[in-house]
Structure 1
């Protein structure tokens, strides 16, 4: 169904609401001195050699070193996201790579090039579809906003969809300057309730690569910040394999 989006002959809309190379979250638990200095006291020379490596046990140390509570909380959140281990998956045949939660299992599904599911929670999954296209770049199809609109329209046409809404749109550069679009939207469905979906797409070697990350986001069990960070790491890792 999603692949059918790219059979339209669109008139692209101009403008991307998020600048290229956007990275909204810290993805490393260790932050270099330059990034930490803004939060440290101006007096004293200890900041000059400081490398801030945050773990749960070191949260109190951050406070002692002079970090505001809000800054220390952000750092510990990033560190906890790292604890949800990710591993690299590369498809040499199709030529793409991404990070995958190491505890998730690979399953076979018709229409998917590859699909990973959380154990005992198949509704939470990461899937990639690769299909041939006549495009050289994703920009030839349309702007990020145009593609996001088409994604939402496709979701709303599903009989099971009660509502769908775009949360965020971004464009970044991948390997070798590759044009990559990223989207975040939420869907309320009769099949599984509220879901948060992160998608990324790019075109390379006359093939369209589409990543879809689906995760339950019900009001009684909303998507947590740590899980969100992990899913965003997966989203931002989607790229062509370096050998391409």
Structure 2
């Protein structure tokens, strides 16, 4: 797993999936959802079919809460994604009939108490891209954005977005988040195809960013 390689922690079981979901300049995610144009405007502009397609897509990407009480993390994931078993992954969800589009989490023990002890978000992003570029299948890799946010209880969470052009599946956008809690490293990777013939659509991006922002410790009840 690229992000695991970047951290170089010993004695972990790498998650061997085309990896996993912000890098170049520090910023936070804007997870706002734009309002749809009125039906009248869509009829006048001949875009009613696009509205229908967007509604269908929204239904397919409806988010639901997933909480792992054993490992102690939570996230929201598209209800249409199917949970599958994968060696090395704590949990993995794949888009139906498009397994290259997936959401996976890996939890592994570390000696750190926070990510800040390892380095800044930009430092980790640089290590991440270096690791990606060393992969034999990688043709190119580029950081898009880096962010840091606070989770429950002031938890330090790093978020990255980068793109990878690979001989295994072509161009992909990857959204990744990481945090450390109770001396365990939690890694989330969201991988989605971004090929020229089928680029990552804006609504899908917004949904995936919501998934990314939802990765956290469960709230204390």
Say yes or no: TM over 0.5: yes
RMSD: 2.2
Number of residues of Structure 1 aligned to a counterpart in Structure 2:
193
Q: Which residue of 1 aligns with 2:16?
A: none
Question: Tell me, what secondary structure is at the counterpart of 1:136?
Answer: coil
Note the C-alpha offset of 1:55.
Answer: 5.1
Aligned mate of 1:149, from 126, 136, 139: 126
Max Rg structure: 1
Moved over 6 A (4+): none
Question: Is 1:170 matched up with 2:147?
Answer: yes
| Structure 1 residues without counterparts, runs of 5 or longer | 9-15, 30-53, 62-75
Give the TM-score taking structure 2 as reference length: 0.81
Please give the per-residue CA displacement for 1:75-112, whole angstroms capped at 9, x wherever unaligned.
x9xx9686430000000000000011000000000110
Q: Which residue of 2 aligns with 1:18?
A: 26
Greater displacement, 80-89 / 211-220: 80-89
Alignment of 1:208-223 (within 5 A): 208-223=185-200
Please give the per-residue CA displacement for 1:171-199, whole angstroms capped at 9, x wherever unaligned.
10111111000000000000000000000
Distance in 2 of aligned mates of 1:4 and 1:139: 17
Q: Does structure 1 conserve the Cα–Cα contact (< 8 Å) formed by 2:152 and 2:217?
A: yes
Question: Is 1:242 matched up with 2:181?
Answer: no
Alignment of 1:78-89 (within 5 A): 83=59, 84-89=61-66
Question: Tell me, what secondary structure is at the counterpart of 1:239?
Answer: coil
Aligned mate of 1:107, from 84, 87, 106: 84
Q: Which residue of 2 aligns with 1:122?
A: 99
Note the C-alpha offset of 1:59.
Answer: 5.7
Question: Tell me, what secondary structure is at the counterpart of 1:148?
Answer: helix
Question: Is 1:136 matched up with 2:113?
Answer: yes
- The structure, 1 or 2, with the larger RCO (C-alpha pairs under 8 Å, 6+ apart) is 2
Distance in 2 of aligned mates of 1:219 and 1:4: 29
Note the C-alpha offset of 1:23.
Answer: 3.2
| Structure 2 residues without counterparts, runs of 5 or longer | 10-23, 42-50
Q: Which residue of 2 aligns with 1:179?
A: 156
Distance in 1 of aligned mates of 2:84 and 2:113: 30
Question: Tell me, what secondary structure is at the counterpart of 2:147?
Answer: strand
Q: Which residue of 1 aligns with 2:48?
A: none
